[in-house]
Each structure stands twice: as C-alpha cells, then as structure tokens.
Amino acid sequence: MDKEKPRISRLTAILTELQSKNIVTATTIAEKFDISIRTVYRDIRTLEKSGIPIITIEGKGYSFVDGYKIPPIMFTEQEANALITAELLIKRNKDESLTEQYESAVTKIKSVLKYSQKEKTELLSDRIQVRNNKENEKTSKYLIQLQTTISNYNLVKIEYKSLANKLSQREIEPFALYTTQDNWVLIAFCRNKNDFRAFRLDCIQKLKILETHFEPHKLSLQQYLENCSAKYSRKR
C-alpha cells in the first residue's frame, strides 16, 4: 500500500487535512491517500504519540483540539539561534538589497516561532555584536537583482565606473557572484570585450535588466576559477 508516498510525507499530509476541516473521517483519509482503514488507525496513533492533540469523535472521525494550529514551519532552538545570528551578520553586509530582503524574510520566519522562542531570540539579539563594518556602510544595491538574472539568464546593461575612475557602458551575461572583504563581485561574460570579466557591485552606477535571454554557459564556476588560475600562472 501507498508505494508512491513515503510514510513521513503521508503523515504530514494527514495533519494538513485535519487542519483544513472540522472533522475528517477515517474513510476519507483512506481514500485520499490510497491506504487501508487499519493503516489510518496506525497513522493516527503515531501522530498522537508524537504529541499532536487529535480528538477521536466516535462514529464521526478525527479533529484537532479546539484552537490547536500547526505552525507552517517549526524550528528547534538551535535553528532559531542560527537565523538570528545570520540576521545580525547580514545586517552588516554592504549590499543594501541583501539586507533589506533578508530582513523581510526573517520577519516572516519570526512570526511562526513559538512565544518562548521569540523571547529567547530577542534576548540573543541583544547579546550578540557584529563588529565588522561598524558604520553599517552600504556600497551596493544590486545583489538580489543580479542573483535573479543569473538564474533566469537575463541579459543586463550596466553603467560601470572602474577603480581607475573610467566610466563605460557594458552589455553583460551574468554568470556568478562571490564576496570578498564585504564587497560583492559579479563574474559575467562581457559582450563588449567578448570575454569574461569581474565587476565590483559597488562600481556599478546603473543597472537595467533586459527581457532578452542568453544561452547558459557550458562551464561551472569551479571550471571558470581553474581557468583563471591557469591564466594567472602562465603570466607569472
């Protein structure tokens, strides 16, 4: 029985079914998940033993204790602590788009924490201090947009001011990103130079994502880095 769906997935789906209705019959569960009535009884007992407050209503079916809700996400204390630590680290990142989007995401995550977890994470936030980038300087704002262009293969136009203060217009095919000394660097195929180039995000003055898509490059980031290393070695 139930060869297509592993039991853990089925148990999770049964919980969702119970939460979506006032009463769910054993027959309904059996038919929905293509299992026997005996398997339904066994699954319900497993859920009860795990601490889920399920009420058996004789002659009708199953229901949750009134007021009980399953949070969409459950975190252990250690996982919640890791999220808070990451939030404090990311707040000091120099790309404005990353800090803004992460703050929005972690706020949604905090909303599903249990009350006791919220108290602990608030305490922890006050007891951790990140000392890099003390001035909380923001030098770029395009990281999240460029991540999207990498995964969607969007052609991008940028206005770029080099460290030598030279301004240029580039049409690029975003390939990868890396961070060094709190600054982000984009690796992209530059159509102007017909070769790969590295662009510091804090040097990008303007950015426009085009609707045009480019063909994915037939190499991995590791292969690209190995090629760069080989070129550097030949020049020495």
pLDDT at 186: 97
- 143-235: what CATH class? mainly beta
pLDDT at 231: 82
pTM, entire model: 0.67
Cβ atoms of 125 and 84 closer than 8 Å? yes
Q: How far apart, in Å, are the Cα atoms of 13 and each of 3, 8, 71, 182?
A: 15, 9, 14, 43
Cβ atoms of 119 and 75 closer than 8 Å? no
- 7-64: what CATH class? mainly alpha
Domain range summary for the chain, segments of one domain joined by +: 7-64, 77-126, 143-235
* Range in 15-19, 75-79, 224-228 with the lowest mean pLDDT: 75-79
Q: What sections of 34-142 are H helices per DSSP?
A: 37-49, 77-91, 96-110, 115-126
126-159 confidence digits (pLDDT tens): 999 998 888 889 999 999 999 999 999 999 999 9
Cβ atoms of 62 and 56 closer than 8 Å? yes
Residue 228 pLDDT > 60, yes or no?
A: yes
Q: Which residues contact 62 (CB under 8 A, 6 or more apart)?
A: 18, 23, 24, 25, 26, 29, 44, 54, 55, 56
Residue 4 pLDDT > 50, yes or no?
A: no
pLDDT at 234: 76
pLDDT at 19: 82
Kindly report the average pLDDT of the chain as a whole number: 89
23-42 confidence digits (pLDDT tens): 999 999 999 889 999 999 99
